[in-house]
Amino acid sequence: MGPLTGARRLANCRSFLQVATDIVRRLRSVSGTGTERRAETEDGDCDRGEEEIESEFDRDGRPAERRQLRVLLVGPVQATGGIARYIGELRGRLPESVAVAVYDTAAPPGSGPIRFARGALGALLDALRFLFHDRPDVLHVHTAENYSFLRKSVYVLLGRYVWGKPVILHVHGPTFDRFVAEAAAPLRVLQRVVFAASARIVVLSPYWEEALSARLPAGKTVVLPNAIDTGEYEPRFDAEPPHIVFVANHVPRKGIREFADAIVRVLDTGADCRVSIAGSGPLEGYAAELAERYPEVEYLGFVSEEEKRELLCTASIYVLPAYAEGLPIGVLEGMAGGNAIVGTAVGGVPDLIDENGGRLIAPRDPEALADALEALVTAPEEGRQMGHHNAEAVEQYTWERVIPQLTDLYATVAEESWPERP
């Protein structure tokens, strides 16, 4: 390599300063006051003095009567993505009997070597900072595959073996099945240790329970689906002509390329329909090109939650041709909006959608996707019946159903960890 140019030297200096600044900030949070070390809480009970907290315990470590159960949610908070959204919804919906705190593990900003340096050093500092956190009764750790699992494994092991607290490991990743099945020997050992350290392992649907059963300890798996607030949706069921919607990040995994190809095929047949595309991302050019080429297509770009709900409630066909999914909240939202669902038979999607609610195809098959869309566009009454079916079926996936199950799980694992009375 040749000598560094002035511009490259300046860029490297700036990169170093960015990393150094990040390290100093994290060290300050470790060495700061007790208030600075604590995660943001929803309830002041988690921020009280150690003396007051200890006074609420019996000598054998059991919480005193009528005391709130303290739960620490560990996962990305100040981030985009499904896990951050889930934690944000969950923390505001837990009952008063649960004092909830959150410990943010959002990945650092940046890209390339800068992000790697921040991530590696930040993970070490975060582990140290974590040890100073007020100890809860239960840790609820949210993970996906790959780097997310490697990082969250630290919190699982510290919580279980250093704090001696029960840990619930909540698996969200769309490719976690492949991550477990194809793991090399060293990673397989780590997975086994982390799974053994977890009091319970939450999976999103029966598919995930079966897919992971060979690697998870017997008796530890709990199926707990994602949830939405269906009361925020008022489906119209009156779209005329049929109205197709795609609402997702414009990245390869969500199938935006296959969707664009399929829409071209459908519209070129002369089918009478409208198409709305929402979301943004590196592949948003496909949507922009469709909107320029066909008057039936509109590209909305990023939409707010309120705008998204309005769009889904006025549409008739929700499309998600993803390559991999956990239990997609987007499909639940499409169901709540009264849409027929056209998607791919991946992850937990077949647990949500049967022949009464839509059509599922193999991923990466634009021709099959076009056929499924054309069939519903040319038979709008069939699609309308599917929409009605889905609007009823989605009531199984509400927060009102999920929160009591999760609260019971917190209480169960906490009680199992308390020493038996003589």
Each residue of 83-110: pLDDT tens digit? 999 999 999 999 999 999 999 987 655 5
Closest CA to 45 of 15, 81, 69: 69
The answer to whether residues 81 and 106 touch, using CB atoms and an 8 Å cutoff, is no
Distance CA(176)–CA(204), nearest Å, equals: 11
How distant, in Å, are the alpha carbons of 138, 201, 269 from that of 402? 18, 16, 44
Distance CA(422)–CA(419), nearest Å, equals: 9
Distance CA(129)–CA(157), nearest Å, equals: 15
Distance CA(156)–CA(335), nearest Å, equals: 35
- The values of phi and psi at residue 44, to 5°, are -60, -20
Q: What pLDDT, on the 0 to 100 scale, is given for residue 78?
A: 80
Structure tokens, 336: 């709540």
The answer to whether residues 273 and 370 touch, using CB atoms and an 8 Å cutoff, is no
Amino acid at 321: P
How distant, in Å, are the alpha carbons of 96, 98, 103, 220, 238 from that of 92? 10, 11, 15, 27, 34
Amino acid at 236: R
The answer to whether residues 205 and 224 touch, using CB atoms and an 8 Å cutoff, is no
Q: At what angle do helices 82-91 and 329-336 cross, to 10 degrees?
A: 60
Q: What pLDDT, on the 0 to 100 scale, is given for residue 420?
A: 57
Q: What pLDDT, on the 0 to 100 scale, is given for residue 35?
A: 32
The answer to whether residues 342 and 373 touch, using CB atoms and an 8 Å cutoff, is yes
Closest CA to 141 of 210, 208, 90: 90
Exposed, middle or buried by CB within 10 Å (0-12, 13-18, 19+), for 292?
A: exposed
Domains annotated on the chain, with CATH:
66-227+400-417 (3.40.50.2000), 230-397 (3.40.50.2000)
Q: What pLDDT, on the 0 to 100 scale, is given for residue 20?
A: 46
Which stretches in the chain have pLDDT values below 50? 1-4, 8-13, 15-17, 19-21, 23-24, 26-60, 64, 111, 422
The answer to whether residues 314 and 334 touch, using CB atoms and an 8 Å cutoff, is no
The answer to whether residues 34 and 51 touch, using CB atoms and an 8 Å cutoff, is no
Q: What pLDDT, on the 0 to 100 scale, is given for residue 3?
A: 47
Cα dihedral sign, 336-339-345-351? positive
The answer to whether residues 313 and 328 touch, using CB atoms and an 8 Å cutoff, is no
Distance CA(42)–CA(48), nearest Å, equals: 13
**Which position has the token pair 């069921």?**
237
Q: What pLDDT, on the 0 to 100 scale, is given for residue 115?
A: 52
- The values of phi and psi at residue 92, to 5°, are -90, -5
